[in-house]
Each structure stands twice: as structure tokens, then as C-alpha cells.
Amino acid sequence: MSEILKIENLNYSHRLKKILQDVNLTLQSGKIVGLLGENGAGKTTLMRVITGVAHATGDITVAGETEVAARKGHVSYMDHLGAFSLGTHLDRIVKFYQTVYADFDIDRFNELAEFLNIDTSLKLSALSKGNKEKFVIALTLSRQVELYLLDEPFDGIDSMSRKDIINSIIKWKPETATIVISDHYVSEISSLLDEIVVIKDETINCHLDADKIREDKGMDIEDFYESLYERGTDND
């Protein structure tokens, strides 16, 4: 097992507001990690900063690379396709990915597309929210990298699609790769997680082994997560 991600003394402000402070985090390879926190806690920001589309102070190392452009070659982040007009055919977007990412595995994409029932002859405008999300996830998982960042992949998705997506994550996750899944609703993914990382009060509140929480505290992950907030209000 090796270190896939190392974040040291990261600070980030946006529009005069501190979003993340003194973040330190190390993730090992081969894990599925839940990134938990309330809406607006900074989960998306942390992911954006890791990929390099947002800039923070501090050091970020992904698979040994610190330089932004090189780092981008080791991280696959969900791109919500805002750059493409609604009339764009999915085929064209797949082609875009295939051209632009040397690590894009078209066979894996085709398998995922079949498994998730994605019709790539459609236009972007013809997709429901759930189908678009599936398409984005298929694209994201089809790159062969060390670190995958899935930002709220189940947002607004029905339970059947959710199951499909969870299964595709289990099925297609490369053995040594680490997947970070952010979510503000824990219970839907808790059985899937090796570890959880909670962002609270602009920093990493805790980083724990999921089964260790169950073993030591006899709590389910959701209760544990909620207990962090109760403790917070007691102290105030």
C-alpha cells in the first residue's frame, strides 16, 4: 500500500471567506473513502483544489506529483460537462475524452455504458438528470488513474440508478486506485466505505476506519457522523 494523496497545511479562501483551514490529509492506495460534511462545508472545494482547477496555499501531492499539470494526469474528477452545448451528442464527448486523456480506456467506457444503460447516440439535452449523472460517472471511471474524485454522485438520483452506480464503482474500481466519494447523506454509501473523512468547521474533523467505528463504538456511520454535530452544539 502506498500514499496516493498527501495534503499538507492547506488553506483556501474565496471571496473574502475562509473555506478551508489547516487541512492535512493522507490517503492510501486501494481505498474507498467517504468525504462527509454538510452542504457548503467545503467538500467540492477540497476536490477542486486537489485537481488544480482551484488554487489554495499548501502542498498537495498526488501519486508523487506536486506540479499541477502532472497532478491532473493522476486524478479523475467528475466534469459536469458545462463546456458542451446541449445539442452535443454523447459520442462526441466520448471522443473528446478519448483524445484528450491518454489514460482513457474506451473498452472500459463501453462496458460501463452498457452496464449503466447509456445510449451514446443521444444528445446531452435528451438526458434526464440521473442519466446525465450516470454518463458523467462512466466517463470519470473510464480514465485509468490512481485517484478518482466523485462529488455527490448520487445527488438527485433514484434508488435503482444509485444501485447501478454503486455496483459499477465496485466492479470497475482498479485494485490499487483510491476513490473519494463525497456525500452529505451517509447511509446510502456507508457499507461501501473503508474510511470516512469528515469536513467540519473548515477543516478535517476526523479521518477514521469505517469498520473501526462500528467495532469500537457500536454505532452506525450515520449516527457517528451526526454525533459529531451534537458534540459541536454542546460545546458552543
Instruction: Out of 128, 163, 231, 232, name the contact with other proteins by CB under 8 A.
Output: 163
* Residue 100-119 contact track with other proteins, rule CB under 8 A, x = bound: xxx-----------------
Is position 31 an interface residue for other proteins (rule: CB under 8 A)?
yes
Give dist(CA 49, CA 112) in Å, integer: 27
Instruction: Report d(CA 104, CA 83) in Å as an integer.
Output: 19
**DSSP letters of 150-165?**
EESTTTT--HHHHHHH
Distance separating alpha carbons of residues 175 and 153, to the nearest angstrom: 20
Q: Kindly state whether residue 15 participates in binding other proteins, applying the rule CB under 8 A.
A: yes
Choose the binding region for other proteins from 3-11, 45-53, 122-130, 228-236 (rule: CB under 8 A): 45-53
Q: Which of 131, 142, 161, 190 binds other proteins (CB under 8 A)?
A: 190
Contacts of 137 (CB under 8 A, 6+ apart): 78, 112, 116, 150, 153, 165, 168
Q: Is 160 in the site for other proteins (CB under 8 A)?
A: no
Name the grid cell of 138: 462512466
Paired strand residues for 60: 7
Under the criterion CB under 8 A, does residue 219 sit at the interface with other proteins?
yes
Per rule CB under 8 A, is residue 150 in the interface with other proteins? no
CA distance 88 to 191: 37
Phi-psi region of 38 (alpha: psi -120 to 50; beta: other; left: phi over 0): beta
Other CB atoms closer than 10 Å to residue 216's CB: what's the count? Answer: 11
- Residue 14 found at the interface with other proteins (CB under 8 A): yes
The grid cell for 202 is 473548515
Closest approach of other proteins to the CB of residue 100, in Å: 5
The mark string for 76-95 relative to other proteins (x by CB under 8 A, - otherwise) is: -xxxxxxxx-----------
Please report whether residue 164 would count as binding other proteins according to CB under 8 A.
no
Q: How far is the CB of 139 from other proteins (least distance, A)?
A: 10
Across-strand partners of 147?
Answer: 75, 178
The residue ranges that bind other proteins (CB under 8 A) are 14-17, 30-32, 44, 48, 51-55, 68-73, 77-84, 96, 99-102, 151-152, 155, 163, 166-167, 170-171, 173, 175, 187, 190-194, 210-211, 214-215, 218-223
